[in-house]
Amino acid sequence: MQSLPCKAIFLVATTLLVLLQIPFISATGINYGLNGDHLPAPPAVVDLYDRCNIPSIRLFEPRPEVLQALRGKPLQVILGTRNEDIQSLATTLDAANSWVFANIVPYRSDVNFTYITVGNEAIPGAMSQYIAQAIANMYTALADAAITYIKVSTVVPGSSLSISYPPSAGAFTNEAATALSSIASILLNHGASLMLNVYPYFAYAADTDSISLDYALLRPGAPSSSDQNLVYDNIFDAMVDAFYAALEKINQPGLTVVVSESGWPSAGNEPITSPENAQTYNRNLLNHVQEGRGTPRRPGQPLDVYFFAMFNEDLKQAGIEQHWGFFYPNMQPVYSFWQCS
């Protein structure tokens, strides 16, 4: 008997969920970066995801050796474009067609792509003016290849907000608002979500006098704050809701979001960084999203979260940037977290 390809299994399962009216739960995954020496070969990495029951993976750019390793695996895959490719993807449809033909079409039958992200933290920035058209071109290229199940989005950082506190005052910078107004309409038309990078670590490290560590680490019983009759017991929810408020201010209240990066470094800025704090933050965030209670501004709305990152990467800037991983390059855990076979 011939086995179904991964994407077919995923689509059948999704259809059953809808027909049976079983509620969707939040998905979780981990970003897989490659800025390190002596990282495991991609097949070993994919096997580690599988052994640790990590259901989703985010890739920052196409790497044939990684895509090859994903063949026949059930992992849900977010695949990014390089920021330096955004302008060409926007300028000519041929560039988008070539990208899809090179990086999606050869793997379409046995790699479970869910999203393509056009750019990572390119808003605000010189490439922001091109992203909406690049997304539109990518959708056209996918349609030309008869691929309708992959969504396209972009990833925005906290710096796209000019105001983030209190959450209800959340607002985009003028540059980000201009870019995202066009992008949001395309995403809504295709049922796609906006991707956000949300890092309570940076908010806490910048203002330890005003923010409690318990509030930043999502510890139960942390001092709460209120904003327009909404109660916040952790800074993660407050940061996500600042984005929701900013989307409302550009008349896009219906756009959903996915947290494409969040995490806590295990070293590099002691005592704020430690394996214990990284473990606590990530564990509490995982529990929080798996509860499915959403945020105060969007109660009950599931929120997909991709943790950063799979490995410590020693080719990054010295300090905290080298210490976000769940695993060392030898695949030993930095701290106990995933239950791996």
Helical packing angle, 131-144 and 93-103, nearest 10°: 60
Share of the chain above pLDDT 90, in %: 92
**80: in domain:** yes
Q: Which of 61, 175, 248, 261 is catalytic?
A: 261
- In-domain check, residue 336: no
Place of tokens 């509030």: 215
Active-site annotation holds for 61: no
At which residue do the structure tokens 């295709």 appear? 190
Q: Which of 65, 121, 276, 321 is catalytic?
A: 121
307: CATH: 3.20.20.80
Give the pLDDT of residue 27: 80
- Structurally, the chain folds into a number of domains equal to 1
Host domain of residue 61: 28-327
Q: What backbone torsions phi and psi does residue 133 show, to the nearest 5 degrees? A: -70, -35
Q: Is residue 335 part of a domain?
A: no
What are the residues facing 59 on neighbouring strands? 32, 79
The pLDDT tens digits for 228-244 are 999 999 999 999 999 99
Low-confidence ranges of the chain (pLDDT < 50): 1-25
Sign of CA dihedral 89, 90, 96, 97: negative
pLDDT tens digits along 31-46: 999 999 999 999 999 9
Alpha carbon distance 136, 27 (integer Å): 26
Give pLDDT, residue 26.
66
Contact 160, 176 (CB under 8 A): yes
